[in-house]
Amino acid sequence: MSDDRGDFAGPALRGFRLQILYTLARLIEPNTAIRATLWPEGIEDLAVLDDQGVPREAIQIKAHTASLTLSDLVSKSGKGLLQRAAAIARDHPECEIRLASFGPFGQELTDAWSGSPVARGRLVHKLEDAGLSQSDADLLLARLTLERVDEGDQSAKIERFLGTIPTLAGQSSHAAAILCQWLYCAAELRERITQSDLIARLSDVGRYLHARAGYWRDWFSVIDPLDQDMDVESQRDRLSDQFQQSINAHYEHILAGCDVPRRRWLDRISTGFEKASVVIIHGTSGQGKSALAYRWLRNETPDSWRLEIKLIDTRRDALQIAATLSAHARAGGAPLTLYLDVRPANSAWTELVQELARLPRIRVLVTIREEDWRRGTLSGAAVAFDDIALTLEESEAREIYRLLDRPDNPTLFLTFEDAWRRFVGSAGNEGPLLELVYLVR
């Protein structure tokens, strides 16, 4: 399982997303759910255990878009899928081994598993060349099942099942997304899942969706999911122009790659969350707080688990938002990361942070102007937080200067040293990042 949660648009993400989809589809099957325990990432991608904990199925899930070939399934290291499958077949004589593929199988595999003696003979020879014995090769052909899986069919199956549950009526798509979040966490922790777990989770999801209906005005207006389902490619030039003209940073600017990632501060945010569930970035206007926060969210948190809170005016707003998010986190069983960019002179943000800090499996990232931070009343006794005073130092400025996409015509400053001297000023006072960008573009 990929641990690079920042690359949630790449092939690794698609493979894991389909793995979760397949797991959920298996979990809701009546025969599977009643009599068995599912173990994501236990034995291969998914194991099915009987009521005694004995493996009855070991399933590897593939999401190749190209045809799956033998070379995809064996390795010189001896740890390829078929080599592992042979070991499982030997160790667990009663365990069915399954290769579930969301893409097509190559002709060689198809012919061998369809029973063609010639194709099977050729495959056995190739498996022997890969280090497997003939008995292992024969065992694989007898015990391994190839299963072609269709993503649309799996999704429709889940939708139909969820549509039969009264508390989820009309909201099966959102319920499915929450259940997938739950299974993602279970896979991360290698937790075993039973029918009782499914029933309890469905109950939590139903309660959450009912509560969410009462707070509907919050979702997508006050609470906004920061996902990647937006077209930035066709808008890349416009977004880049906006960002360079210092228009307030938005998440789409980060998706379009308009920013210069600031590795030192990104690492500092991650370190802050190791200490506390609340991290507060404060600094002068133009220091790049919002862009830094969005970049960290993009790199370090999964889609659907990062939300931006846009407006808070009163304590009542703070309590209502906290209740909505608490229900969401409880239903999905997944950790949420919430981002709050405090508006100038807003004082209600401290109430919201205090409420959210009490909720399990929730992290809060706050960006705030220096003057508002100094004016704020957030107490370390009430909330455990880590604060980051964002500044721009010469070493970081030098790297930003190197990476900035400057126009072909040279600016007034031919070297970084010239720009830095002007930036710092005769009095030695460093300004905000925005001022440096103005100077060198």
Let me know if residue 323 belongs to a domain: yes
Cα 382 to chain centroid, rounded: 30
Let me know if residue 210 belongs to a domain: no
Let me know if residue 255 belongs to a domain: yes
Let me know if residue 142 belongs to a domain: yes
How many Cβ atoms sit within 10 Å of the Cβ of residue 254? 25
The pLDDT, as a whole number, for residue 416 is 66
Same domain membership, residue 233 and residue 366? yes
Same domain membership, residue 352 and residue 268? yes
Burial class (CB in 10 A: 0-12, 13-18, 19+), 75: middle
Query: d(Cα 55, Cα 48) in Å, to the nearest integer?
Result: 6
Same domain membership, residue 171 and residue 295? no
Local structure of 336: helix, strand or coil: strand
Same domain membership, residue 364 and residue 239? yes
Same domain membership, residue 363 and residue 401? no
Closest by CA position to 192, among listed 81, 347, 29, 37: 37
The pLDDT, as a whole number, for residue 301 is 85
The pLDDT, as a whole number, for residue 433 is 56
Q: How many residues does the chain have?
A: 441
Token pair belonging to 217: 């005005």
Same domain membership, residue 434 and residue 308? no
pTM for this model (two decimals) = 0.55
Per residue in 174-225, pLDDT (tens digit) is: 888 888 888 888 888 889 998 888 888 888 888 777 766 655 555 556 777 7
The pLDDT, as a whole number, for residue 437 is 56
The pLDDT, as a whole number, for residue 409 is 45
The pLDDT, as a whole number, for residue 288 is 84
Residues of the chain with pLDDT under 70: 1-13, 30-35, 169, 211-221, 227-231, 244-247, 304, 331-334, 379-381, 394-395, 399-441
Same domain membership, residue 232 and residue 357? yes
CATH number at residue 185: 3.40.1350
Query: d(Cα 302, Cα 227) in Å, to the nearest integer?
Result: 9
How many Cβ atoms sit within 10 Å of the Cβ of residue 34? 10
Token pair belonging to 197: 């777990």
The pLDDT, as a whole number, for residue 2 is 33
Let me know if residue 164 belongs to a domain: yes
Closest by CA position to 261, among listed 86, 400, 111: 400
Token pair belonging to 392: 């721009």
Closest by CA position to 329, among listed 430, 239, 211: 211
Let me know if residue 303 belongs to a domain: yes
Same domain membership, residue 155 and residue 110? yes
Same domain membership, residue 280 and residue 241? yes
How many Cβ atoms sit within 10 Å of the Cβ of residue 195? 17
Could you identify the residue written with the tokens 């830094």? 292
Same domain membership, residue 405 and residue 301? no
Token pair belonging to 23: 């797991």
Q: Which domain holds residue 61?
A: 11-198
Same domain membership, residue 290 and residue 435? no
Query: d(Cα 227, Cα 264) in Å, to the nearest integer?
Result: 25
Let me know if residue 216 belongs to a domain: no
Same domain membership, residue 233 and residue 323? yes
The pLDDT, as a whole number, for residue 434 is 52
Closest by CA position to 387, among listed 271, 259, 287, 301: 271
Residues forming a β-bridge with 144: 97
Let me know if residue 207 belongs to a domain: no
Residue 23's alpha-carbon distances to 27, 29, 181, 399, in angstroms, are 6, 10, 12, 45
Residue 390 is classified by DSSP as -
CB 286 within 8 A of CB 246: yes
What is the number of structural domains in the chain? Answer: 3
Local structure of 337: helix, strand or coil: strand
Residue 385: what are its φ and ψ, rounded to 5°? -140, 160
